Amino acid sequence: MRQSLRMICVLAAGASLTSCAHGLRSAGEPNASAVRVGGEAAASMAGVSAEVPLREGPATPHDLSDDGDDMKAIPSEVNRLVLQWVDYFQGRGREHMERYLSRSGKYLPMMKEILRKEGLPEDLVYVALIESGFSATAHSSANAVGYWQFIRGTGRRYGLRCDSHVDERRDFVKATLAAADYLKGLYNLFGSWYLAIASYNVGENRIKNLVMKYHTRDFWALAKDRRLPQETINYVPKFLAARMIAKEPEKYGFSGVKYMQPLQFAEVEVGHSVDLRRMARELGIEYDEISALNPAYKRGIAIESGGKLVLRVPVAARDGALTAATASLVIPGRALAVAGVPEQDEYSLYKIRRGDTISSLARRFRTSTRAIRKLNNMGSSTRLVAGRRIKVPGESLAGLARREIKAEAEKPRRELAKADRAAKPGARVAGKSGSRVHIVRRGDTLIDIARQYRVSLTELATYNQISRKTKIMIGTRLEIPR
């Protein structure tokens, strides 16, 4: 079996942080901001030299910047909404912002470099800050995952592998490249970074419809007239506030933040699947060290695909990496069924309704009461409280929709074709007692859903035992009366 060893050092300590007040770069430290395979630092170790095959940006990068210069920031705006978010981060959200800023030291230099290579403004990195706080395991109620909070379908559309064992939405390099592709397309569609960022939150179709309906590409005009969902009206100001603080933390009272060190790692390339836990033991390091560098592998097994597998290891472990990987080979056929290795972070958030019990939720999400109690650290006497959120195993909200759609596919062809035509605007699946079901997506409102299914708002609300003014959450399952 052909195997080869490549070394990479991500020495990003000095990458484009001169505008930041926290001074991550120390005096005399080399400005090795580029991500390199066998670059100058690695060449001294391995005697090789080759640049990372990062994809090139567009031939005309000025087409992707509001001001004609990719290296300059996205246009600044300071208004009441932006200042409200600054106040929030300085007050109730201070703990969160301090944690996000701390993590930014680890990821921000590398992500900025990728965005720059892709011909995009570096400041788009702060989308990841407000989406996930630079956390690989961030998980939303809509089953959005990872640093850039991709839902499964969008992640796959941009080349990310998402299955039970590998989720590249959690990979800091691949997810950033995918986000760059997505944001590039959004800007090409709207010609405005504010609308592109808003679309990242609510979806491009919703923004496109509003632009066409109201004949404006001015985000602030759409926000002022409340044409956008409230979450999206706040999204761009939140981004701008986070950027202001991250660029000048001391100015906004964040002078004591302890920034994490920039990522440094080596790469080893093999031609087989690898047990990462065993590899860590072979290298004499903690499993958490190698897992943090390879966060896409959820069961501790790195799955070979296409005859090649590239793994990251700590720089200090580079010399024995190939030997350890070879010794940790996973026999074909066993990589997808490793006994005793649970999936990590596979859950959705569910808002408890009146009448819900742990037993009823276990039946609905096809799991066990024991699994729900264990996931939420519940005792045998714990009672559910309406309005609170709990975890349900197995990305269950999305799984529920898929199961019901699959059941719908078993109907006669004529009925299926009719359902497919009706399902284009949103996720429609079979409901109880002949009713239909709509899984709420970003940008959905009760009035929009009522119009889509040609029912009255009152009828829709009554049927689901909610108020006409209820704010529906992404992933909520609404029954549609016939």
Question: Domain extents for the chain?
Answer: 4-53+266-327, 61-252, 346-394, 398-482
Judge whether 4 and 257 are in contact, CB under 8 Å: no
Of the pLDDT bands very low, low, confident and very high (cuts 50, 70, 90), residue 73 is low
CATH architecture of 398-482: Roll (3.10)
Claim: this prediction has a pTM higher than 0.85: no
Beta bridge partners of 478: 438
| Distance (Å, whole) CA 438 – CA 451 | 13
Is the pLDDT score of 38 beyond 90?
no
Residue whose token pair is 């695909």: 305
| Distance (Å, whole) CA 109 – CA 12 | 6
| CATH 2.70.98.30, applies to 61-252 | no
Beta bridge partners of 429: 437
| CATH 1.10.10.10, applies to 346-394 | no
Opening angle at CA 93, ends 89 and 98, nearest 5: 75
β pairing state of 301-302 and 274-275: antiparallel
* Spatial CA neighbour of 474 closest among 229, 179, 246: 229
**Which amino acid, residue 58?**
P
pLDDT per residue over 296-340, tens digit each?
998 889 988 777 899 999 999 999 999 999 999 886 555 444 433
Judge whether 29 and 12 are in contact, CB under 8 Å: no
| Distance (Å, whole) CA 186 – CA 9 | 32
Domains 346-394 and 398-482 share a fold: yes
**Which amino acid, residue 123?**
D
| Distance (Å, whole) CA 335 – CA 95 | 40
Any idea of the CA torsion for 275, 276, 280, 283, to the nearest 10 degrees?
70
pLDDT per residue over 170-228, tens digit each?
999 999 999 999 999 999 999 999 999 999 999 999 999 999 999 999 999 999 988 89
Q: 414: which residues sit within 8 A by CB, 6+ positions away?
A: none
* Spatial CA neighbour of 276 closest among 165, 420, 135: 165
